[in-house]
Structure 1
């Protein structure tokens, strides 16, 4: 298989052989196995706006267990978050926006994204 070499953003040299029209079934399979998930979007992402991600999450029919609220870094709003659960499998899905983040949010907001991931991976509330 091999590697590409030097990373290039959105390289036209990459030739994909498989197109996945929807990731919904993959997420539902992982939920059935009890895996938690963190879904995040930069709120300045013009390629995949966060409202589209919210619509996709609604299609999963998970229930809201923690309503919209800001999440903070250094006493400043770093974004907003909501938590979902599938009552059949009790997994939790955390959705978060990253304030000022673009399509590749960690590129635009590294400290915020690191804090978000660190809190999520250790089971702490954003």
Structure 2
């Protein structure tokens, strides 16, 4: 893991929002693209599986799917 996932997760946890939906996978074309966790402030923490430091470079299809869903307000 290139991006400090654990530090980011610790920072999000420090905001003290309740977890509405715990870790679950999200999919692109029937394959697991990453995992999400949703909080009470209507924010979702999402990962891109195998995305590395520059996820759009390594996983462009998954990132486009994630971004398109965010723009159209569809859940991951």
Q: What SS class does the counterpart of residue 47 from structure 2 fall into?
A: strand
RMSD between superposed Cα atoms in Å: 1.1
Query: Which 5+ residue runs of structure 2 have no aligned equivalent?
Result: none
Rg comparison, structure with higher value: 1
Of Structure 1 and Structure 2, the greater helix share is in 2
**Partner of residue 101 from structure 1, selected from 28, 51, 66:** 51
Query: Which 5+ residue runs of structure 1 have no aligned equivalent?
Result: 1-43, 87-91
Q: How many residues align?
A: 76
- Partners in 2 of 1:75 and 1:49 — Cα distance? 27
- Partners in 2 of 1:83 and 1:121 — Cα distance? 17
- TM-score of the pair, normalised by structure 2: 0.90
- Partners in 2 of 1:121 and 1:65 — Cα distance? 21
What does residue range 46-125 of structure 1 map to in structure 2 within 5 Å? 46=2, 48-86=3-41, 92-125=42-75
- Deviations along 1:68-100, one digit per CA (max 9) or x if unpaired, are 1000001000000111123xxxxx111111011
Moved over 2 A (4+): none
Bigger RCO of structures 1 and 2 (CA < 8 A, at least 6 apart)? 1
- Partners in 2 of 1:118 and 1:64 — Cα distance? 24
